[in-house]
Structure formats: structure tokens, C-alpha cells
Amino acid sequence: MITNFESYTVDITDEEIAMADLLITALRKHPPGTIWTSSQIIAGFRRNGYQCTSPRVRKIVAYIRSKSIAPLLASSNGYYLSSNSLEIKKHIKSLEQRIAGIQIAINGLKAFI
């Protein structure tokens, strides 16, 4: 769990694992690179009887990535599967840059303690 975000970052549930399977199955029915917005993903989950929010989508996406279930990438336009190693490398670099930005913020805040 992440401090101050406990209600959003509880451990993955069996229901969320089932939702991850549903999401990957749905994405694989379309050509690689087909973009799905968070809103479209949420609507799909709701059609299948699941309650979902944007933070829950992000949690499910993080689970899919962390368990190497599928190469699920994201852009400002939405989520998509890619088998292109260059795209995957670019996405990894983007994640690493976000980590670096967060570390800079951490270092700045440490000046106040």
C-alpha cells in the first residue's frame, strides 16, 4: 500500500485479477496498437458486471505489467498492446523518466524535514 493512498492501493483482489484477464482478452481481439481510453475500459468492465474507476484501471494495468502478462503500454490517448520492441523500450524509458522526476520531488521535499 502507498501511504496516504491506502484506499486506492490495497493488494490486488481476485476480482481484479479476473478483470485483468478480461481486459487482456478484450485487447487481444483487436489489432495491436488499437487504443482504448480509460473510459472505454471502465465501460467494458461495467458491461461485464464489475464496478470500476480510473484508479482501479491503473492498478489493473500495473498488475498486468508487473506480472509480465502482456506488453500493455499507454500514451496520452489511452492504453494499447504492442509487440514492437522499440515502442516497449520507449515506454520503459518514459517510466524511468517519471521515476526520476518523482525522485527530484522527493529530494526537494526532504529539505523541509
Domain range summary for the chain, segments of one domain joined by +: 1-82, 83-113
At what angle are helices 54-66 and 38-47 packed, to 10 degrees? 90
* Residue 5 pLDDT > 80: no
Q: How far apart are CA 71 and CA 91, in angstroms?
A: 10
| pLDDT on residue 75 | 93
DSSP characters for 71-94? Answer: -EEEETTEEEE---HHHHHHHHHH
Say what the pTM is: 0.85
Q: Residues 53-86: pLDDT tens digits?
A: 999 999 999 999 999 999 999 999 999 999 999 9
Flag whether pLDDT at 7 surpasses 70.
no
pLDDT for residue 43? 97
Q: What pLDDT is stored for residue 94 in this prediction? A: 95
CATH, domain range 1-82: 1.10.10.10
**What does the mean pLDDT of the chain come to?**
93
pLDDT value at residue 9: 63
The residue-averaged pLDDT of 26-51 equals 95
**Per-residue confidence band for 8, with pLDDT thresholds at 50, 70 and 90:** low
